Amino acid sequence: MAGSLWWLLGTVEILLPHEMMETARKPLSDLVIAAAMSRTKIWRMYDSKGLILEIHPSGGKYWRFKYRFGGKEKRLSLGVFPDVKVCEARERRDQARKLLAGGSDPGELRKEERAAQLEQRARQDAAMRFTLDNDGALSLRIGTRRLSLTAAETAELRTFLDATRAVTPRF
């Protein structure tokens, strides 16, 4: 049957596995990425070792690192093109691969870092800050609220606090 359809199919080229490796896709370049146009759906351009460029319908081009950890497929955001060029995206991918080789999930590490940054920012916002200018004006900042006193008001407050300190017993 297959012999009788040769005129319909023409010649069919069959590649062996070692020949397929020779015809592997070329690595991405900045020029190829810049020329890539958006489509109606998200589409992807693949580089190597899990590095992917997602092109969204809005025109945004986002670097992703696709990996497996704990039997699950995951993706890690590496930045936005053109802010992050191909060589920098590859470096970030290689850093994530080193973390994977060390047995840690780069996505979870990033979540922990962000949580620590948010906690530190919340602590800084909640802290009280006093500043006294050269002319004697006092400003007090608690979180996002600010109280500013003129030099005369600062002097009044100082005398009040001194009087309170003299009256209040210390334990």
pLDDT of residue 11: 53
Of the candidates 147, 152, 153, 151, the one whose C-alpha atom is nearest the C-alpha of residue 130 is: 147
CATH number for the domain running over 25-123: 3.30.160.390
pLDDT of residue 41: 93
Quickly state the pLDDT bin for 78 (edges 50, 70, 90): very high
Greater pLDDT, 8 or 85? 85
Give how far Cα 117 sits from Cα of 38, 111, 127, 131, Å. 34, 10, 15, 25
pLDDT of residue 6: 47
Q: Is the pTM of this model over 0.85?
A: no
Q: How far apart are CA 57 and CA 51, in angstroms?
A: 20
pLDDT of residue 169: 67
Domain residue spans in the chain? 25-123, 127-167
Quickly state the pLDDT bin for 155 (edges 50, 70, 90): confident
Q: What is the mean pLDDT of residues 123-144?
A: 77
Length of the chain: 171
